[in-house]
Each structure stands twice: as structure tokens, then as C-alpha cells.
Amino acid sequence: MSYLEELNEVQRNAVTTKDGPILVVAGPGSGKTRVLTFKIAYLIEQGVAPWEILALTFTNKAAKEMKERISKVVGDKAHKVWAGTFHSIFARILRVEGQKLGYPSNFSIYDSADSKSLIGSIVKQMNFDSKNYNSNAILSRISSAKSNLISPAAYQQDSNLTNQDKINNRPYLYEIYAKYEERCKQAGAMDFDDLLYQLYVLLHNNPEGVREKYQQKFKYVLVDEFQDTNFLQSQIVKKLVHYEGSPCNICAVGDDAQSIYAFRGATIQNILDFKKDYEKQGVQVFKLEQNYRSTEHIVQAANEVITHNRNQIQKEIWSDKGAGNKIKVIKAISDTEEGRMVADTIREHKNRYHLSNSEIAVLYRTNAQSRIIEEYLRRQNLNYKIFGGQSFYQRKEVKDMIAYLRITTNPKDEEALKRVINYPKRGVGKSSIDKIIAFATENSISLWESLDKVSLPAKAANSILDFTKMIKSFQQVAEKADAYEAASIIVKKSGILDILKKDNSVEGTNRMENVNGLLDGIKDFVDNDEEVVGVEDKSLATFVQTISLFTDQDENVKNKEYITLMSVHAAKGLEFKSVIITGLEENLLPSFMSLESADGIAEERRLFYVAITRAEMFLTLTYAKSRIQYGKIRYNLPSRFLEEIDGSHIESTSSISSRKLNTPGQSKSGISGNFSSTRRAAPAMMIDPKDFHPSPSSDIAEGLEVLHLKFGKGKVVKVDGGAANRIATIHFDGIDNPERRIMLKFARLQIVQ
């Protein structure tokens, strides 16, 4: 076991501790992936069958990297481990067991666009106002309900949820939720949330002892990035490992200080409560505190920032890579000057320190910040790439092509059928499509089943007949040919290629290249001889299932010689020699949406912590005194997070401020001397607390006048957000920045009678 010699003592103990619940608290750059992969290799060497090990990740890329590392230690056995994303692994189980819930084994997986389209169709059929019943808002609401194990029936009975819907002029949302579930099932489809929700239902209801089957199958369960799990994911894991006589062989690896995905439903409580959840089995905790990535100034600055969060697992990250370069803080007069300074800093790092483009990243809180930075990078002829733009698999021509592949493998797929039934145009107009949908709904059958039963005008009926014959011919091809051969025939005979060839514009050429790129990807899928869990053959059906689970992070980029521009959220898990964090201003980082909530500020601080710890050698922090937003100049205060870094870690340059920096030891917030004097003091109480009687937060609604202890009298302009996270936009008279967004569950507001 020579690989164990590569580990430090704590890493080695975490790897060789075999049984019972284990929590590995892995600080940034502490070798988390190495510990996780070596632990799986160790289990296999100790005699555990690889197919008895379940390793859950958040990206296919992470799962693939894990298998590659394990295979270097134990060989081909690594490919027998059940390693993959929550969604891909659960989809695989549901392919086998879904019939117990009434789903076909070849069910389609709806992406968000499919779900929104279906919701829009339901809203129209129910004659609801599409402005109130917005597809995005409804899908978000349904997704939140599923993530919290709330069925359509339970939703209808929940007065908090239904009252909130009434306040937001969507009183019948529960009916849409129920109809949406019904239509998905009729179409033999699940959305991404269903892959979790339906698996939980399967394990909870336990038809034919399916829960015991998988409890016995998976002797060891390992979860990567445990701080990013949501309530539903944690409940499924508990179902798999918590049972009578179980040793609870679960290993959770993560870092509470890097929990930054609450907006996706992730809850930090899962990792904070791990010891309590498994205390009966005796939890063993290993803290990986040595950072192998960053120099001391960067690591200590991160430590100082995160100590301001109260609710956390205590740890002290350290580095032996030397003090390194101090952190550079740049103050810009405006956002345009900030863009110029960012480009100048990059040019300096390239010329003075000989860094390549790929070793440099610019991070920001919102994607909108990239525009000005891009302009100045282009002016200096610096090659860059933005991450977070439209995914390859979300481009129209790619989605059109995939829709044909989907309907070939599952003709009941309603959203795929609606997408291609008249593309390329074949004389099936909107009225005909509406008749088909109405007929299918009235008779509780799929759209595909209704095609040869519904009465349509002759032209449309003939076109439909030709269309169904074409799809059936594709099905015959797909049964005999591999995915690439079948897809090549489909793209030609569907007519998509003919349309794209007629467009000689640059955009048309790009669209043609994208379709060819998809075919290249299918060819690579067919030619790849590596054994992958969940991929038993090279059929079109298997490819469609695989492609449905791809994420932006799984896309391969051939040319890596570019400067990376991305949001801090997207940067998690990455590292660069030089990192520039921009827009360190109040209302930006931290976001204005977080300012009325202690939990919100804590998450923003964790976001800043994640950004800092992406840097290996050089860290640059920038802020602008003014920024153009919504067509107006807005003046900003420096972020409170800058004050939390001791001045001993900051490079004293004229770019920062005309004021002198505090010397080390003057105060914990070593650079507060630069920023505190520019920050306005918190407003004094504007209402006498003795006369103040807060109203129930559930009563706060749009149009009401309210009182706030600090801000005085205001009017509620808007209320939005989910049931547990309602946010009120309130306009207060007589204060700076009069429009405030307040999280109602933490707010103290009195309704003015």
C-alpha cells in the first residue's frame, strides 16, 4: 500500500478508518479528492467488492476523475464501483425499479426547458393568466416542494404555501403542480427533481422490499461535497444506511466553510448536524487542515474572514508553502477604471511573473460584471473565456436534434414531440397541435397515442402520418444500429441538415458546426471502450439517458490557453496561480439580497472565503467607488469583508487608498482604518421600541404600509421568494438607498392600520 505513504497522518487515518459513520472536514486545498479516492481503493484492497461501494458526487467530471485515480491503485476494479452524480446513479436505479412506481424503464428526463414548456401548456389549457402563472416561478415552486418532500396533495393541505400563492396572485398553483405530475407520468417522463423525489418515494414506500435490496447492496456509501447536499439528498442517504443493525458505513467529505449553494436548495445544516444524526453509531471526525495550494498570506486572510461566521465547524487551516506575496487591494474610482486596472494587473502578472493565461482567473459576484472586464481584455489583446454562458446542450439546434433522438427512444416524450412535430415545418400548425394536446388531455393518453386518433384537417393529417412513419423508421434503425449510426441517419432524414445548409451566415455556420459537434460527441461515446457504470451498451437509448445528465462542468474545452472569467459560484473546486476578485462592495459582495439576514451574510462570507482560497500565489481584490447600474451611477462603500483581513497580509500600494494602512497588531481588522471612516453608521432607531408591535410575517403583503425600527415608515412594493424565504421589497422615505429587500422570516415589521 505504497499510496498510503503519500498521505499526511490525518489523511492516512481518514483513509484507513473503515467502518461506521465518518466525517472528513476538508479545508480548501487539503487533498480532499485524494483522501476520497484512496479510501475507496483501500476498501477494495481490504476485500470489499467494488460494486458494494456507492460514491456520490455532484458532477460527472468528479466521478470520472475519481475512477481514474482509483484505477491507478487497484486497476480495472475501479470501474465496478458505483460512482457518479446523485442524479445519474439514482436514474440508473429508477431505470430498473421505476416500474414499481408506474414509470417505464425508458422514461425520458425533462430538463428545465421541457418542464417550463409543459407548465406553459397546462397554464394555457386551464385558462390562467400567464403573467401571474409564470412558468419559471411555478417550476421553482414545484422544485422547492419536491426538494422538501411535499407532494401535490400535501402542498394543497399546507396553508402556509397556499396562502403565499394567494398573496402572489397564484391561488391555483397546487392544481398546476398536480396536473404537471400527472402529465409527466403520462409522458413517461421525470424531471431532474423527480430523480431524487421518486427514488425517495420508492425507498420510503418500499414495494417488494426494494429498500432492503439497496441497503444490502451498498455496504459503504461515500458522499463528496456533503455541504452541498439538500434536504432530500440527505434523507435518501439516511434511507440507504440507517436501518436495524446497520453499522452506518457512511463517509461524508466536505467543508461547511464552502457551503455556497443555498439558492439551489443546499443546506449547510446537513454537514453541521452530521454528528448528531449518526451519534448512536459513534461518529469519527477527521479535520484536514493543511492547505497544499496557497501561500501563508492567502490562507491566513481566509481564516480571518471565516472566523466572523458563528455557526461552523471550528478548524484552523495552515500552509507550509511560505509567506508568499501579500494581497493587493485596488481601489478604483469607477467600474470602468476597475476594468482597466484588472487588465493591467493581468498584463503585469504575465510579463513580470511569466504566468500563462490559463493560470489567471477573474472572479465576480454577478455575471453582469464581466462586460467591462471583457472590453479591457480585448483592448489589450488578452485571450479569455467566459464560463456560465449558454451551455452547448442548451443551444437551439442541439436541443432540436436531441429532441429527435429522445422521441425515437421514447415516443411518449411529450416535450420532445411538441418541439419537433412541426420542425422542420411540415404543415402542422398551432391549431392542429392544440387539438392534439386537448384530445390527449381529455382521453388521458400521451400525445403520441393521440396522433392517429384525433380528427385534423387533411393536410395536417397527412403530414402527421408521414411524421409518425418517419419516427417509426428511426426506431427500427435504433434497434439495430449503434447510437452514432442511428443519429447520423436521423439528422439527415429529419431535414434538420437541409435547413442549416441553406443558412450561409456566420450564425448558420456555427449552428451547423454545433450539430456536427453533437454527432462527434456521439461517435466518441460509441468508440470509447472504457467500462462506465450505468452504460451497458452503445445504443441510442443509452446515449440519450447519458446526455440528459450532462452539466456545464462536464463539457470539455480543447483550447485551455485563456484567462478564465467566471462567477465565484462557478469557481468552486478550481485553483489558479493568480486570482482577481472584483466588485468587493456593499450590495454586491455581500449581495444586497443578503443584508437583512444573518444567514445571508454568513453565506456571502463563505462565498468570499471560497474566492480567496482559489488563489495559489497571487490574490488581488478590487472595488469601485461608483458603478453604473440600471442606467444610473451608484456610489458604493467598500465591502465589510475587506475590513476582516489583517493589514499584515495587505500590500501597501498607492492603488489602495491615500490613507495609510494599519500596522500589524493595531486591530484584528487590520485594514479597517481604510474603510471604516467611509462607512455610514447604522441608522438610529426611528420608531420608539415601546410603541412597536411586530405583525406576523405571513401577513405582510404587497401594497401595505409598514413600520421598521431603523428605517421608519415604508410601503411594501413587492413580495417574492419561496414559502420559507419570502422577501419583501419596501420603499422607505427619508433614508439613503430607500428601497430595501428584507427577508420576512427575520424581519420585524408592524403593519400600519
- Cα angle vertex 402, ends 398, 408, to 5°? 155
SS3 call for 53 = strand
Task: Please list the alpha-helical segments (H only) found in 381-538.
Answer: 396-409, 414-420, 430-442, 447-450, 458-480, 483-493, 496-502, 506-527
Exposure b/e, 385-399, CB count within 10 A at least 16 = b: bbbeeeeebebebbb
Q: Is 255 among the residues known to form the active site? A: no
8 A C-beta contact, residue 612 and residue 298 = yes
* CA–CA gap between residue 523 and residue 51 (Å, rounded): 28
Q: Is 33 among the residues known to form the active site? A: yes
Task: Write the burial class of residue 710 (CB in 10 Å: 0-12 exposed, 13-18 middle, 19+ buried).
Answer: middle
Write down the catalytic residue from 16, 17, 18, 33.
33
8 A C-beta contact, residue 406 and residue 106 = no
8 A C-beta contact, residue 253 and residue 66 = no
Write down the catalytic residue from 194, 225, 228, 596.
225
- Cα angle vertex 425, ends 424, 427, to 5°? 150
Q: Is the peptide bond before 590 cis (omega within 30 degrees of 0)?
A: yes
Write down the catalytic residue from 12, 32, 293, 315.
32
* CA–CA gap between residue 185 and residue 413 (Å, rounded): 10
> How many angstroms separate the most distant Cα atoms in the chain?
86
At 305, which helix (H) or strand (E)?
Answer: helix 296-306
Write down the catalytic residue from 97, 165, 224, 643.
224
Q: Is 129 among the residues known to form the active site? A: no
Closest CA to 415 of 188, 195, 196: 188
Give the count of beta carbons closer than 10 Å to the beta carbon of residue 286.
Answer: 20
DSSP string, 527-554: H--S-BTTB----HHHHHHHHTT--GGG
8 A C-beta contact, residue 564 and residue 384 = yes
Beta strands across the sheet bearing 705-708: 739-743, 727-732, 712-720, 705-708, 749-751
SS3 call for 168 = coil
Exposure b/e, 18-55, CB count within 10 A at least 16 = b: eeebbbbbbbbbbbbbbbbbbbbbbbbeeebebebbbb
CA 687 to chain centre: 41
Write down the catalytic residue from 614, 640, 726, 741.
614
Q: Is 32 among the residues known to form the active site? A: yes
Q: Is 225 among the residues known to form the active site? A: yes
Give the count of beta carbons closer than 10 Å to the beta carbon of residue 192.
Answer: 19
Q: Is 614 among the residues known to form the active site? A: yes
* CA–CA gap between residue 162 and residue 723 (Å, rounded): 9
Question: Phi then psi for 72, rounded to 5 degrees?
Answer: -70, -20
Task: Please list the alpha-helical segments (H only) found in 207-272.
Answer: 210-217, 231-241, 269-272
* CA–CA gap between residue 620 and residue 618 (Å, rounded): 7
* CA–CA gap between residue 603 and residue 269 (Å, rounded): 12
> Position of cell 431524487?
196
Beta-carbon contacts of residue 449 (< 8 Å; ≥ 6 apart): 412, 440
Q: Rounded to 10 degrees, what is the CA torsion of 132, 137, 143, 144?
A: -90
Give the count of beta carbons closer than 10 Å to the beta carbon of residue 208.
Answer: 9
8 A C-beta contact, residue 39 and residue 286 = no
Closest CA to 22 of 312, 314, 285: 285
Q: How many Cα atoms sit within 13 Å of 582 on the Cβ side?
A: 30
Catalytic residue IDs: 32-33, 224-225, 258, 614
